[in-house]
Structure formats: structure tokens, C-alpha cells
Chain A
Amino acid sequence: MNRVREFRRAKKLSQLALAEQIGVARQTINLIENDKYNPSLDLCLKLAWVLGTDLNTLFWRNEDENQS
């Protein structure tokens, strides 16, 4: 599971506010948070920039998570 929701909440942003900032639909953010859509590297970078973190922190999975 990625940490987009956790960082978004820490930044006190709604899904819609985050979506508007990076130019996607709210549904896309919802799908990413629920691991139902794999975003492109470009979108991952935008998310990391807006949420003030890096790709590793936001998306890196542990080995056991990767196998499940």
C-alpha cells in the first residue's frame, strides 16, 4: 500500500484539492490511494512534489508487501 493518503491528510488536503493541484480527477487520486491504479512516473513525481516528499517514501514497498 502506498502512503499517498497518509501524506495528503498530514498536509490537510482533500482528495479534490490535491487533484486540482496536480491536474487530475479526484477519482484518479482515490484509485491511486486504494492501489487500484498504477500512476505514471510523471504523476508520481507530481504527487511527491506537492506532498513535499520523495518517491521512495511515498511509493516504496517492502519485500513482503510486494509478494502479497
Chain B
Amino acid sequence: MKISHEESLRDRFVRHVFGIVGPMDEHARQEVGRISTTILAILWVIQLVGLLIAMWVSEIAGDANAFLALTAVVLLSLLGLVGIYGSHAMNKAQLTQTETTPDAYRALRRKKIHQTTRSAIISTIIMTALNLLWAGNTTIQENLATLFTYDQLMQSVIFGVGIFIVLYWTNVHSIRIVEE
């Protein structure tokens, strides 16, 4: 009997978005479905309640800008909440854990640290480039001047360290040694 292991494009996409390490099997699909449904419910309820509060506050304050500001707060908080819940639930379901044997642990850990460092550097470069783009500079000299300002350098360093810690936690800390 031949068992097919081909992975569809959709499965590959979902696996990358949710950071699933192993194959996208039926258990992973079931867990992803359960987590997604909870996320949808959180989004639906909190967004509705948050926007109603924002409308009510802006009505009382008589300021239309208050609605926009509160909406931004609601959306950003939702994004954070959903991100934290999602990664916690995926970890709990053991879908993001990388498994290895005791012999292969050191080599895998080294590989993951290299990957994490590379990803953190690339993310920091992209974030800095976006900052420069939004600064509205027209010449290369202006961009270089903005790049080496104290604020910009501090922003890049803090972002780089922060993203490294997050990636280290998800990539390296999630390695599990399996005896069997």
C-alpha cells in the first residue's frame, strides 16, 4: 500500500503563517481550526464592544477625532491580544515545538540561533527602511542623516533586541529533546 504525503499549497501557507513545525496532519488541522475559531470570536466581540465604546466616548466628548484615536487603540490591542493567545495556544498544542534527539540537540540549537540572528537582522533592516520611507526624505544624504540620528539608532537597536528575544523564545526555546 502506498501512502501519499503530498502537501497542498494551502496547507503549506497555513503551516508557515501559524509557525507549525511538523507536517500539517489532521490533528494540526483540528487544533488550527479550534484556535482560529476562538480568535474570530475574540475579534468579533472585542471589536464590536470596543467600537461601541469609542463611538460613545467621542459622542460625549463631542470630538470626532476621539473615535479614530480610540479605534486605533482597540485595533492595536486586539492585534496584540490575538497574537499572544495564538502563540500560547499553538505552543500548548505542541504544534510549534521542534523535536530532536539528545545527539543532534547541539547542532540543531546552533542552527536555530543562526537562523534567529539572521531573521532579527533582516527584520531590523526592513523596519529601519520603512521608517526612512515614512520620514519623507527626498535625497540619499537626507536619509543617511536621519539614519544616524540618536532617535533612529535607538529605535533600531531596541527593535532589533526585542525581535531577537521574541524569535529566540519561539525558535530556540521551543526545541524539545525526545528520547525515543
Contact residues, A25-68 vs B (CB, 8 A): 25-28, 31, 37, 39-40, 42-43, 46, 49-50
Instruction: Tell me the dominant secondary structure on chain B's binding face.
Output: loop
Contact B3 A25 (CB under 8 A): no
Q: In terms of DSSP, what is the predominant structure of the interface of chain A?
A: helix
B25 CB-CB contact with A under 8 Å: yes
Q: Please tell me the number of chain B residues within 8 Å of chain A, measured between CB atoms.
A: 16
A39 partner, pick from B22, B23, B26, B95, beta carbons under 8 A: B26
Specify which of A21, A22, A27, A42 is in contact with B27 (CB 8 Å cutoff).
A27
Q: Is the CB of A25 within 8 A of B26?
A: no
Ordered by A's residue number, 15 sampled pairs between the chains whose C-beta atoms are within 8 Å are: A14-B180, A16-B99, A22-B3, A23-B23, A24-B25, A24-B27, A25-B23, A26-B99, A26-B178, A27-B94, A31-B27, A40-B26, A43-B26, A46-B3, A50-B3
